[in-house]
Amino acid sequence: MGRLFGTDGVRGRANADLTPELALAVAVGAAHTLAESDLGHRPLAVVGRDTRASGEMLEAAVVAGLASAGANVVRVGVLPTPAVAYLVGEAKADLGVMLSASHNPMPDNGIKLFAAGGHKLPDEAELKIEAAIELNGSADWHRPTGADIGRVHDLLDGADHYIQHLVGSISHPLDGLKVVVDCANGAASDLAPVAYREAGAEVIAIHAEPDGININDDCGSNHLANLQAAVVEHGADLGIAHDGDADRCIAVTADGQEIDGDQVMAILAVAMRDAGTLTQDTLVATVMSNLGLRIAMSQQGIRLIETKVGDRYVLEELRASGLALGGEQSGHIVLPEFATTGDGLLTALQLMSRMAETKRSLADLASVMTKLPQVLINVPVEDRTVGAGASSVLAATERAEAELGETGRVLLRPSGTEPLVRVMVEAATQEVAQAVAERIAAEVRLASPVAVA
């Protein structure tokens, strides 16, 4: 068996790649791995899901797998991913399972696992679970019987606990703010409007009627057009877009302009610096963040640490260095004082609290950062390692970096999951960025051409 876990759990097309049998095996493997850790008690797992129709089927398989391996299970139903992570910590559970494919289309689904405290599993734990899955059915496999089989209970007020936690995180109520929230017909459809109203805002909710099929369907953080129009139509102060499991937050200004994760981080970093809560005056972002973020933070006296692409690497750096803010351009923002993973609702509340505190518009707050034009070209290749590492490609990249100087940058990296090389260029103008990116992409294609059938 190859690697089962990707950068964010197990993901695939529900009932094709991600079958109930696989979901059950992952759950059993996770429970057995926990049991081997000598916890001193029966393992306890919290299980949640987003609004995808396939989540009902996969939830049943995961719960059955956990109980069959001797773990007690608390089902929390439809909740955002960060809510499940929070409840793992609150319940002092040993494991959290979230069934979601985040921003992916409805036919996909995924299994995200959290360790005790609500933290994402390290690579070593995932490897142990994969090894345990391979042992399934062998003579060494223990199946509890009788009273040793796990029990299953439902937690009916998990959402209330989570909302109270969120609202308690802000320093200024949102009185006077009018917000349109796009819930992506996902896990935040019930919670986000309630949380924002309890914090004091006037709320207009759109795409908040999930039917199991319409999650992320032309809505949410990847499809902003409807939200942008609604903000202008209703004369709102801002718009907030979440994805299917609400671990992302993208914002929209009163005149309909997008405020991405980099800009949100810039606003929050300055707010936390001013409040004395930005540990070491340091922000953590990935190498994909816009160069404008680095320039803005330098101007504000804030240090920026860059990690590899993926929120798990941001989380690792935050935990290792004891830092207070990090995130990604995509809208995954992590505030370790209040959450163990990216939390879209928490981010939105902190953003709106800053608006209420300063009485400044979102556009004004976002002006702390000027985004440089950015061009990303995904180049199909025969061999992504050759395509990214060929001497001709490296030479073209060096020439481009010398040409751009301090006014731009080049990022060249092979995809971790597809036969692609990603060429990203930032420059002072869109035209320069496009021209430089296309030159490098042409060299990548020459270095590793895709075979023509």
C-alpha–C-alpha distance, residues 119 and 315, integer Å: 9
What is the pLDDT, as a whole number, of residue 195? 98
Tell whether residue 138 is among the known ligand binding residues: no
Residue 259 three-state SS? strand
Tell whether residue 218 is among the known ligand binding residues: no
DSSP 7-55: TTBEEEEBTTTB-HHHHHHHHHHHHHHHHTT--SS--EEEEEE-S-HHH
C-alpha–C-alpha distance, residues 199 and 202, integer Å: 9
Would the pTM count as exceeding 0.75?
yes
C-alpha–C-alpha distance, residues 262 and 297, integer Å: 11
Tell whether residue 245 is among the known ligand binding residues: yes
Classify domain 161-366 at the CATH class level: alpha beta
Distances (CA, A) of 402 to 208, 291, 299, 408, 433: 49, 16, 23, 10, 14
**233 contacts: CB under 8 Å, gap ≥ 6:** none
Q: What is the layout of strands, in order, in the sheet containing 44-49?
A: 10-13, 108-115, 95-99, 44-49, 72-78, 152-154
C-alpha–C-alpha distance, residues 81 and 308, integer Å: 22
Domain(s) of CATH 3.40.120.10: residues in the chain:
10-156, 161-366
pLDDT by residue, tens only, the chain of 453 residues:
557 887 778 999 999 999 999 999 999 999 988 767 777 889 999 999 999 999 999 999 999 999 999 999 999 999 999 999 999 999 999 999 999 999 999 999 999 999 999 998 888 888 889 888 876 655 456 789 999 999 999 999 999 999 999 999 999 999 999 999 999 999 999 999 999 999 999 999 999 999 999 999 999 999 999 999 999 999 999 999 999 999 999 999 999 999 999 999 999 999 999 999 999 999 999 998 999 999 999 999 999 999 988 888 999 999 999 999 999 999 999 999 999 999 999 999 999 999 999 999 999 999 999 999 999 999 999 888 888 889 999 999 999 999 999 889 999 988 866 788 999 999 999 999 999 999 999 999 999 887 554
Tell whether residue 190 is among the known ligand binding residues: no
Domain(s) of CATH 3.30.310.50: residues in the chain:
374-447
Out of 3.90.1150.10, 1.20.120.1200, 3.20.20.60, 3.30.310.50, the CATH code matching 374-447 is 3.30.310.50
C-alpha–C-alpha distance, residues 251 and 242, integer Å: 9
**Contact of 95 with 31, CB cutoff 8 Å:** yes
| Residue 289 annotated among the catalytic residues of the structure | no
Q: Which one, of 43, 27, 137, lies nearest residue 93 by Cα?
A: 43
> Count of residues for the chain?
453
C-alpha–C-alpha distance, residues 329 and 260, integer Å: 6
- Of these residues, 100, 102, 289, 353, which one is catalytic? 102
Superfamily of domain 10-156: Alpha-D-Glucose-1,6-Bisphosphate, subunit A, domain 3 (3.40.120.10)
Other beta carbons within 10 Å of 255:
11
Residue 286 three-state SS? strand
